Each structure stands twice: as structure tokens, then as C-alpha cells.
Structure 1
Amino acid sequence: MTRPSSVDKLEPEIRDAIGRLRGNGHTIDEILAALRELDVTDISRSALGRHVQKMEKVGARLRHSQNMAIALSRHLGDEPASRIAQTNIQLLHSTIMELLSSGDGDAIDEDGLAALKGNPEGLMLLGKAIDHLTRSSKTDADFVRQIEERLEKRLRERDEKNLKSLAKEKGLSAEAVQAIRQRVLGAGK
């Protein structure tokens, strides 16, 4: 376990100020000067540089995850809840795959596997994540099926209402209505 950096030991308000300054495009030297104005003198330029670099890496990963979620949401179904569920499932799946694969994505990462072998709690949590992934997929499929059934029922009711209205308006016989119902609506009432 790594020890906290000198920047990590700062008050949250000061760390937030560092993040805001960097987010507004200020350089490390400008941020360091602002820290000096706040009487923060025990932070070196290199420590601040490492902190900013770490923040930017985390930010890049978050942006990548958000972009992936947006792309997946656009690609998956029309139902908002279904899109969210499918996005979460895909993100968890890709995270597990990243954990188990090497940087090039082709081979199993031996270091990652070794870390899991010596970590029963980590294995248990990975197992739970895979279990939740499987359950989420099933739950989402059930949700989509229920929505489709409700939509189909609503459409059948609308079509039946329209058919009755048309039959009354045009004076259609019961046999003609039954034929339309069977051939056009696919119902055998």
C-alpha cells in the first residue's frame, strides 16, 4: 500500500482548489504560486506535478467511461431503463475483462491473476461481480420482455377499438369483422 502524498495530506478545500485551478488551465507553476499565497509551503513542484498527472489520468479514465456509456446507450434499445441497465452491464463486463487481461488485451495478465490468487476476498468480490452481471442481464431481459408484452397488449387493444369503430362506421358484417381480425390483426376472437 502506498503512503499518501504530501498533496493528499492537504485539506480537502485546498485539494479542490488545485483541481479547479488545473481545470481552468493553470500551469503547475501558477498553481504552486497560488498555494504559496495560501501559506501552503510544504508542497514541492514535483509532488504537485505527480498529483496533477494522477488527476488527469483519473479524469481521462472517467471521460472514457462516460463516452463508452453514452455510445453504448445510443447503441442499445429504446427504453431508458434498459439502456442504463445494459450500459452498466457492459461497463462491468469491460472492467472485469480489463482486470483479467494484459495491457494489449490479448493475453491473461499474470500479475493480475497472481494478485487475485493471494486475495480470497478479491476473488469473492470478483465472483460476486460476475454473479451480479449475470443476474442483471437476466433482469434486464425480463424487463424488456415485460415492456414488449405491455406494448403488444396496448397495440392489440387500440387495433380492436379501431376495428370496432370502423365496422360500425362502414356497417361491416360480423363475418367481415372476423376476417379482418384474423387476417390483418392476427387475432382469432
Structure 2
Amino acid sequence: MTDKVRRSKPSKIDALPEAIKKKLDELLRDSGNSQADILDEINKLILDAGLDEEATISRSGLSRHAQKHEAIAAQLRETRAATSALVAELGDKPMGETSKLVLEMGRTQLFKAMHQQLLNPDENAEVDVGMIKEVMLSIQRLETTAMHVHKRETEIRKVFAEEAAAKIEESAVLAGLSEEGAQLIKNQILGIA
């Protein structure tokens, strides 16, 4: 056998019209359908679409596709569970906290990748300049994003403080406090000495 990489032949399912593939995936998502029922329905759709008998799928082909489908679904479920856990942990914290968490996750993954490279160096390998550039670009993007998140958070706090100060000043005057007293409260909210 040669060292060339061989491309695998596309499956019959990959060659199906998009509408039939969509219906197949829909049937697979419903756990109430047996593979035998799905096979019958899909093969009927194939024949009804005017495709020949050779386009119909086999039991083993359906089983392989179902396994791939389930592997993807399992990954999605794990991602959703992790996301739900993070949301539960953050609760109703400001968006800035979520952004900080995402940035920290990015930094951690970047560090792990670099650390792995350092732990398993190839003595004869040259320095991968492209990888270094990608790492540096990733760091730059993460830090730029962090600065944007901080700036946005600061802007949101300022707008909130201004709105709260205006409301409090209005309420204080209506409650009989002098304008000077209301202004003093407003200045304290806005951080003015």
C-alpha cells in the first residue's frame, strides 16, 4: 500500500437529496422510532423521489449513520450540560462576568496547548514559527477582547449611575429635600466628592 492518503467513498446517505437526509435526521432524533421503521420510511422516500433501487440504504449503512448522529448528539448534550452548569454558577451576574469566564477559558486552552508542546518537544524539529504567530495572534485577540469587555462594563456602570442619580435627585426634591441636599446625594452616587 502506498503512503498516499486515500479518500473514503461517500456513503449513500451523504449522496441523498437534502430533504431526505433532513427527514432521516429528524426520525433519528425521535427515540420512539425503531431503525427498521426508519429504514422502511427513508427507502420509500428514496423510491418516491424517483431514485433507483441502488440509492436505497442498507441496515448497516443506517446503523453507521445513526452511530455518527448519536456521537454528535452526545457532544451537544455535554456542551449544553456544561453551559447550563456555568449559567447556574453565574446566575444573574452581569454579562461582564460571563465574558471574563469565556476569556479565561480561552487563555487556559491556549496555555494547555503551549504547555503540551513544551512537554513533548521533538529534539530534531525546527521551531514552528507559524504556530508561534498563531499563539501570539490568539493572545492579542484575547487581550483586545478583554479590554473591550472592561470598557463596555465601565460604560454600562456609568450610564446606570447617571440614571440612578437622576431618579434619586428627582425623588429627593419631591420628598422635600433641598436642591443642595439632592445634589449632594447625586454627586455621591456619581463618585464626585
Alignment TM-score, normalising by the size of structure 1: 0.62
Q: Which residue of 1 aligns with 2:50?
A: none
Q: Which residue of 1 aligns with 2:184?
A: 181
Q: Percent same amino acid at aligned positions?
A: 16
SS in 2 for 1:9: coil
Q: CA deviation at 1:108?
A: 3.6
Q: Which residue of 1 aligns with 2:67?
A: 53
Q: Which residue of 1 aligns with 2:42?
A: 35
Q: Does 1:16 align with 2:30?
A: no
Out of 151, 167, 177, the position equivalent to 2:160 is: 151
- CA distance 1:137–1:72, change in 2 (3 Å): farther
Whichever residue aligns with residue 14 of structure 1, its letter is I
Q: Which runs of 5+ in 1 are unaligned?
A: 102-106
- Equivalence map 1:1-189=2 (5 Å): 3=8, 4-25=10-31, 26-37=33-44, 38-39=46-47, 41-42=54-55, 43-74=57-88, 75=90, 78-79=93-94, 82=96, 85=99, 89=103, 96=109, 100=113, 108=116, 128-166=137-175, 169=176, 177=181, 181=184, 185=188
Alignment TM-score, normalising by the size of structure 2: 0.61
Give yes or no for contact 1:100–1:109 (8 Å, CA) kept in 2: yes
- CA distance 1:85–1:158, change in 2 (3 Å): same
SS in 1 for 2:173: helix
Q: CA deviation at 1:141?
A: 1.9
Higher RCO by CA contacts (8 Å cutoff, separation 6 or greater):
2
Q: Please give the root-mean-square deviation of Cα atoms over the aligned residues, in Å.
A: 4.4
> Which deviations, in whole Å up to 9, do the C-alpha atoms of 1:3-47 show, x marking residues without a partner?
333322222122111111111222222222223323365533222
Q: CA deviation at 1:132?
A: 3.2
Give yes or no for contact 2:173–2:179 (8 Å, CA) kept in 1: no
